[in-house]
Amino acid sequence: MTYQETIEWMFKQLPMYQNIGKTAYKGDLTNSLLLDNYLGNPSKNLKCIHVAGTNGKGSTSHLLASILQENGYKVGLYTSPHLKDYRERIKINGKLISKKYIQTFIKEHKDFFEANSLSFFEMTVGLAFDYFSKEIVDIAIIEVGMGGRLDSTNIINPILSIITNIGLDHTAFLGTTHVEIAIEKAGIIKKNIPVVIGEYNNETKQVFCAKAKTENANVYYASEIKDVTLSCPLIGDYQKHNKKTVLQSVNVLKKEKHLLISDNAIKNGFKNVIKNTGLFGRWQIVNKNPKVICDTAHNREGLEIVLNQLKREKFYQLHIVLGVVNDKDLDTILPLFPKNAIYYFCKPNIPRGLDENKLKEEAKQYNLIGESYSSVKEAYRISFVAGKKEDLIYIGGSTFVVAEIL
């Protein structure tokens, strides 16, 4: 198979949450352990940092990777989902995994994948571990896909666990309360391994403390860090929590794991995070006149912060290109959106995307008025034509909407 054929096979032949939703979810680690054993247990060769949480996992992982790279470490970075290219999920020092490596990996192991009905996510995690092990990375930063306790990445024994925050997302799988979701995220806390907690409330803190006590794991809180004043291109309001989480993580790595990380590496890691790692889609300004901002925030907790930041922007007219996936609880997010904007409702180009006309009708109940468009690109094109240079266009609602614009 060519690379394109390989990617198409991966997307079509295996169940994938990104495309088909709930039926792709496997709450079990059996297949992940089976695959890791089949590949020669590459996960056991890695010195990992495990990152879970509802929001901020990607920014936290990329910032931490950038700092470690600036200090001279060879850093593997596994994140999901990707925005434009599948290979964004697996990088070493910001460089995407090669097409050839993916082709060869799938070709060599395709029969095993099919015989054991491995999911898209299980297969991709196996690919990442195999690649990082063979490339002999110094540190691998592994972002949880969903949850933690039963996530395919949770076969690793990391040197540090990080939980960024808890929000009501993926409730069909993880639970409908903060406590239930916190229990799932706390599943990455391992015996004698320190854990950094980004944000918490009284209920979730109790969950983390109880789990950490059971595992004899030291707990550190990002709230102990003062406001971060380091120069950084990640300017979304929500990044202040992620930055504190990263700095606390660096402190713990130095204190408990005796990792050498200089102040200069921290400074340059923050400053060069986009250049070093290729992080995009976080309060990203893609045009100036009219100003166009896109952001991947897609749940209540994330959108609340982003839309509050949007209120502080200066503009004559606000245009919002909005699309979501079909399992999104619209009653929790639509009330957050401003009523004085012109809306361009659209469907992200995945089977799981919510029909644009249905979104338009649901939004009308909250006095969010606009027209529907058959594609994200068409919605953006029309908004751009309509927007004057003093206007503002915001693009969001889903990672997949932002991906199509970028």
The residue with greater pLDDT, 25 or 298, is: 298
Closest CA to 219 of 234, 235, 207: 207
pLDDT, tens digit, 9 for 90 and up, residues 244-281 = 999 999 999 999 999 999 999 999 999 999 999 999 99
| Model pLDDT for residues 95-117, shown as the tens digit of each residue | 999 999 999 999 999 999 989 98
**Model pLDDT for residues 26-63, shown as the tens digit of each residue:** 567 999 999 999 999 999 999 999 999 988 999 999 99
Name the burial class of residue 215, with classes exposed (0-12), middle (13-18) and buried (19+) by CB atoms within 10 angstroms of its CB.
middle
81 in Cβ contact with 18 (< 8 Å): yes
Q: Is the pLDDT of residue 135 over 50?
A: yes
d(CA 167, CA 143): 17
Mean pLDDT of the region 386-398: 96
More confident residue, 198 or 9: 198
Position 8 scores a pLDDT of 85
If you average pLDDT over residues 225-235, what whole number do you get? 93
Q: What are 80-97's pLDDT values in tens digits?
A: 988 889 999 999 999 999
**How does residue 350 score in pLDDT terms, banded at 50, 70 and 90?**
confident
Model confidence at 177, in pLDDT bands (50, 70, 90)? confident
Residues 6+ apart with CB under 8 A from 398: 296, 298, 323, 324, 325, 328, 348, 353
CA distances from 180 to 169, 170, 186, 213 (A): 11, 12, 10, 18
Rounded-to-integer distance, Cα 357 and Cα 361, Å: 6
Lateral strand order in the sheet of 370-373: 284-288, 291-294, 392-396, 318-322, 342-346, 370-373
Phi/psi for 386 (5° steps) reads: -75, -30
| For residue 209, pLDDT beyond 80 | yes
Q: Which amino acid is residue 388, in one-letter code? A: K
Diameter over CA atoms, the chain: 60
Give the pLDDT of residue 46.
98
pLDDT of amino acid 180: 85
User: What confidence tier does 3 reach under pLDDT thresholds 50, 70, 90?
Assistant: very high
Per-residue confidence (pLDDT) for residue 12, from 0 to 100 = 73
Q: For residue 23, what pLDDT is reported?
A: 46
Enter the pTM of the model: 0.91
Least confident of 46-55, 144-153, 234-243: 144-153
Contact (Cβ atoms closer than 8 angstroms) between residue 344 and residue 323:
no
The model's confidence at residue 17, banded by pLDDT at 50, 70 and 90, is: very low
Give residues with Cβ within 8 angstroms of 199, minimum separation 6. Answer: 164, 165, 166, 222, 223, 241
Where does the pLDDT of residue 13 fall: very low under 50, low under 70, confident under 90, or very high at 90 and above? Answer: low
| Lookup result for tokens 């003093």 | 390
The whole-number pLDDT of residue 20 equals 45
Residue 27: the pLDDT is 62
Average pLDDT score, the chain: 92
pLDDT digits (tens, 9 = 90+) for 273-317: 999 999 999 999 999 999 999 999 988 989 999 999 999 999 999
pLDDT of residue 227: 86
**In this structure, what token pair is assigned to residue 369?**
């008025």
Between CA 325 and CA 353 the distance in angstroms is 4
Position 217 confidence tier, pLDDT thresholds 50, 70, 90: very high
Per residue in 360-377, pLDDT tens?
999 999 999 999 999 999
pLDDT at 357 over 80: yes
Q: What percent of the chain has pLDDT over 70?
A: 94
User: How much is the pLDDT for 168?
Assistant: 54
Quote the pLDDT of residue 19: 47
Quick one: the chain helix, strand, coil %, rounded to 5? Answer: 45, 15, 40
In this prediction, residue 365 carries a pLDDT of: 96
- Return d(Cα 341, Cα 373) in angstroms, integer: 16
